[in-house]
Amino acid sequence: MNIRVGNGYDVHKLAPGLELWLGGIKIEHEKGSVAHSDGDVLIHAICDAILGAAGLRDIGVHFPDTSPEFKGIDSKILLDRTVSLIAEKGYGIGNVDCVLCLQRPKIKNYIPQMIETLSKVMKVDASQVNVKATTTEKLGFVGREEGIEAYAVVILSK
């Protein structure tokens, strides 16, 4: 069995009056992600981790933010396409582990819905997806609520 590990990272600026999408679900908050797509940092980090593990570069190569095709796109579509890309190469997802870094809003009550949504899009069991969240104790751009970031690690097998 061929096992591959990939990691992903994404960051987006936050601004008032925009929607906040995390893990494929809309989160009620007064600020949202500034982005070409829907700005779902969690899904973008997962896509990068999956693509990296498969040796397929990164999300910007496959879904460039300069393309009108991806303007405002639902990031779940990008994740679905990413999973299809690795399936074509014979890979399947072993597990995904993620960390969301944001000062507010508190999202622990949203995490079960995120896991359910992500596992359905990736066509894996919910037990293969883990999402954690942390603040930065009011330090840095995340602590000042200027931005949000996400990290993801994935194991693929062939």
pLDDT tens digits along 129-148: 999 999 999 999 999 999 99
- Quote the pLDDT of residue 68: 87
Would you say 62 is a known binding-site residue?
no
- Quote the pLDDT of residue 1: 80
Q: What is the pLDDT of residues 52-61, one digit of tens each?
A: 999 999 999 9
Would you say 70 is a known binding-site residue?
no
Output the tens digit of pLDDT for each of the chain's 158 residues: 899 999 999 999 999 999 999 999 999 999 999 999 999 999 999 999 999 999 999 999 999 888 888 898 999 999 999 999 999 999 999 999 999 999 999 999 999 999 999 999 999 999 999 999 999 999 999 999 999 999 999 999 99
- Quote the pLDDT of residue 154: 98
Token reading at 73: 């796109």
- Quote the pLDDT of residue 65: 86
Would you say 36 is a known binding-site residue?
yes
Would you say 144 is a known binding-site residue?
yes
Would you say 44 is a known binding-site residue?
yes
Would you say 66 is a known binding-site residue?
no
Residues contacting 2, CB < 8 A, separation 6+ = 157, 158
CA neighbor of 54 nearest in space, from 121, 124, 6 = 6
Domain CATH for 7? 3.30.1330.50
Question: Alpha-carbon distance 59 to 67, whole Å?
Answer: 13
CA neighbor of 44 nearest in space, from 98, 103, 120, 125 = 98
Question: Alpha-carbon distance 48 to 27, whole Å?
Answer: 22
Q: How many CB atoms lie within 10 A of CB 134?
A: 11
- Distance from CA of residue 100 to its chain's centroid? 9
As for how many domains the chain has, the answer is 1
Question: Alpha-carbon distance 38 to 33, whole Å?
Answer: 7
DSSP H helices in 19-158:
41-53, 59-62, 75-88, 111-122, 140-143
Would you say 11 is a known binding-site residue?
yes
Domain of residue 52, residue span: 3-157
Would you say 117 is a known binding-site residue?
no
Question: Alpha-carbon distance 13 to 76, whole Å?
Answer: 20
